[in-house]
Each structure stands twice: as structure tokens, then as C-alpha cells.
Amino acid sequence: MDTLTRLEATIAQRRKASPDDSYVAKLNAKGLPKICEKVGEEATETVIAALAGTDAELTGEAADLLFHLLVLLGAKDIPLHDVLAELDRREGVSGLDEKAARTPD
């Protein structure tokens, strides 16, 4: 099992833990707006690290961002598999053509 899939399973498990014992449970208890705020915050910190930080700082912020994105997907009941399948679907399609090929909601 790859790292992100393992982390997705851990997050699903820890959502049921006590917010006193678990960051994942604590964040979920605060609700979707707080989770979204954290994803936005970590995205901003990632961009700042890319523009003005070291490679190690960018690596750390990217890990924070991926972790919080998985927490958000979990809170919305969207499996990581669906996101990976969407990326697989785009493989081989030029980025310039991808938007046109995207099926409307």
C-alpha cells in the first residue's frame, strides 16, 4: 500500500478517536470550514516556502498540505482513489486539451 493510501486509512480511523488524543479528530470536530481554512493556510505556506524558503521547508509544507487535503477529502467522503482515477484519466491528455475534455458536472 502506498503512503497516501495508508495515511487516508489512518485518517479515517483517527476521525473516531477523542479530540483530546487526536489532531485529526480535533480538526473534524471543528467542522468543514476549519478544515478548509487549514488547507488554504497550508497551501499558502507551501507557496511561500517555494518562493522564499529552503527545499527542506518546501518539503515540510508540501507534506502538511497533502495531509490536510486528505483530511478534507475524508470529511467530504471522497476516496483518494477517485482523485487518483481522475489523474489517471488525464494521463496522456495534453493539459491544454484537458479542460475541453472534462465532462461537465
Residues that bind ligand PRT in the complex, under the rule CB under 6 A: 7, 10, 14, 22-25, 38, 64, 67
Nearest to 67 by CA among 16, 25, 28, 24: 24
Q: How far is the CB of 48 from ligand PRT (least distance, A)?
A: 13
Q: Is 10 helix (H, G, I), strand (E, B) or coil?
A: helix
Which residue's CB is nearer to ligand PRT, number 44 or number 101? Answer: 44
Least distance CB 85 / ligand PRT (angstroms): 23
CB nearer to ligand PRT: pick between 14 and 80 = 14
Cell numbers at residue 13, please?
480511523
Nearer to ligand PRT, 36 or 83 (CB): 36
Contact 75, 36 (CB under 8 A): no
Which cell is 105 given? Answer: 458536472
